[in-house]
Structure 1
Amino acid sequence: MRPVSPLLKSTLEYGPLLAFFAVFMLLRDQTVAVAGRQMSGIVFATLVFVPLLVASTLAMWALTRRLSAMQVMTLVLVVVFGGLSVWLNDPRFFKMKPTMIYLLFAALLGISLMLRRNWLGSVLGDAVPLQAQGWRVLTMRLTGLFIALAAANEAVWRTQSDGVWVSFKTFGLPVLMVLFFVANAGLFSRYAAGDSGTGPGRD
């Protein structure tokens, strides 16, 4: 994989999402006419977000010649659910997209546990070298996290305003992911590759 500067990598990964948030906040109380169709601010923001994500993903592939399975699956679901929201002028499909992504990831991790395969390690192994047992524990915890995030997304978009959901999607979900990995710092230390890590209770 070709090296990419951290700033460029972060821009490609989070730029489309921040653009979605900015467009929504600018047009949240307005109706936008596109090709003779009236769209709400959130649907128009989705229309902006989908091609930006496609472009950023293609740019990442062009720079690194590599995309993870999660990146590809996320892109496909964004195009499908975002496209449905724009085509049908209904934001509910796009709001369900995070739920579908998290449930898909949880299902894949659950299958990897049943098959005793280290699929998570094949994705994150370069960044987080762990022993086999560490990967298994992390896979179980991530499976639970993804199920919880799917449930949280459903609860927020079904009970809260568009503005609350957009803020939750843009900032809440990424922050929860970061907090999860911070909370598992002990696991990374205990099961670090090359460390026998026999002491109980460190994770």
Structure 2
Amino acid sequence: MTKEPDVAEARKISPAVKLGLELGPVVAFFVAYLKLKGKTFTIGGTDYDGFILVTACFIPLLLICTGILWKLTGKLSKMQIMTAVLVVVFGGLSVWLNDERFFKMKPTLIYLIFGGLLGIGLLRGQSWLKLVMEEALPIQHEGWMILTRRLCFFFLGLAVLNEVIWRTQSTETWVYFKTFGLTAAIFLFFITQNKVFRDYGIEEDKDAPVEK
């Protein structure tokens, strides 16, 4: 009898391809903005600046890359789905109303939602972060609670920071902040949690007998 191929194994893709599909649209947005900033385009009798035009192109590009990622892996995380929905809603509003403020609000709402959801889980004595990242980070329950609590406050802090940046700084400054600042902040956050991973990490016992 022929053994059926493992579906999860067949759906694995190259990390480079996955990273390219996830970050490609963001990089393209940044590069396109640098080329079109300060320019005005008249379409259908209405003037649009470069930021609005780049946003209009970013929406379908993100959806296409997200669709390819889903096709290749067979699944999307809740974060990816939520991000795509908010990009369509807030990016669409910015283009439709010719008002860049809506798109700038998107990170604020994303981080408020993520921080709020983690907070609700904590009030219930649960780590909803564990449900999403347990396979990638095998740590004990106490570690998950500490990490979730810190990430909750971190997300809420990013929401506040995004509001301050886009309301007080230039569009170009905000684009740099969104492209590099937010990404670097999240990366540094997990780097600084090394002590939690070390103290509460669960090591697989390679010498444990295999159950029959």
TM-score bin (small chain): over 0.9
Structure 1 residues 35 and 129, CA, compared in 2 at 3 Å: closer, same or farther?
A: farther
Cα distance in 2 between the residues matched to 1:38 and 1:62: 37
Cα distance in 1 between the residues matched to 2:145 and 2:189: 16
Query: 1:99·1:150 contact (CA, 8 Å) conserved in 2?
Result: yes
Query: 1:20·1:45 contact (CA, 8 Å) conserved in 2?
Result: yes
State the match for 2:59 in structure 1: 50
1:85: Cα distance to partner? Answer: 0.3
State the match for 2:137 in structure 1: 128
Q: How many residues align?
A: 195
1:37: Cα distance to partner? Answer: 3.0
1:181: Cα distance to partner? Answer: 0.5
State the match for 1:166 in structure 2: 175
1:37-74 CA-partner distances (Å, limit 9, x unpaired): 32111111111111111111111111111111111111
1:37 aligns with 2:46: yes
Query: 1:74·1:101 contact (CA, 8 Å) conserved in 2?
Result: yes
Query: 1:20·1:49 contact (CA, 8 Å) conserved in 2?
Result: yes
Partner AA of 1:165 in structure 2: W
State the match for 2:207 in structure 1: none
Cα distance in 2 between the residues matched to 1:33 and 1:189: 56
Q: What are the residue-to-residue correspondences of 1:109-128 with 2, within 5 Å?
A: 109-128=118-137
- Secondary structure in 2 aligned to 1:12? helix
Aligned sequence identity (%): 50
Cα distance in 2 between the residues matched to 1:34 and 1:117: 51
Cα distance in 1 between the residues matched to 2:72 and 2:43: 33
- Secondary structure in 2 aligned to 1:109? helix
Which residue, 106, 120, 123 being the options, matches 2:115? 106
Tell me, which stretches of 5 or more residues in structure 1 are unaligned? 196-203
1:118: Cα distance to partner? Answer: 2.9
- Secondary structure in 2 aligned to 1:129? coil
Which residue, 74, 81, 97 being the options, matches 1:65? 74
- Secondary structure in 2 aligned to 1:101? helix
Tell me the TM-score normalised to structure 2 length: 0.89
Cα distance in 2 between the residues matched to 1:37 and 1:121: 48
- Secondary structure in 1 aligned to 2:126? coil
Bigger radius of gyration among the two:
2
Q: What are the residue-to-residue correspondences of 1:184-199 with 2, within 5 Å?
A: 184-194=193-203
Which residue, 162, 166, 175 being the options, matches 1:157? 166
Structure 1 residues 11 and 36, CA, compared in 2 at 3 Å: closer, same or farther?
A: farther
State the match for 1:200 in structure 2: none
Structure 1 residues 190 and 19, CA, compared in 2 at 3 Å: closer, same or farther?
A: same
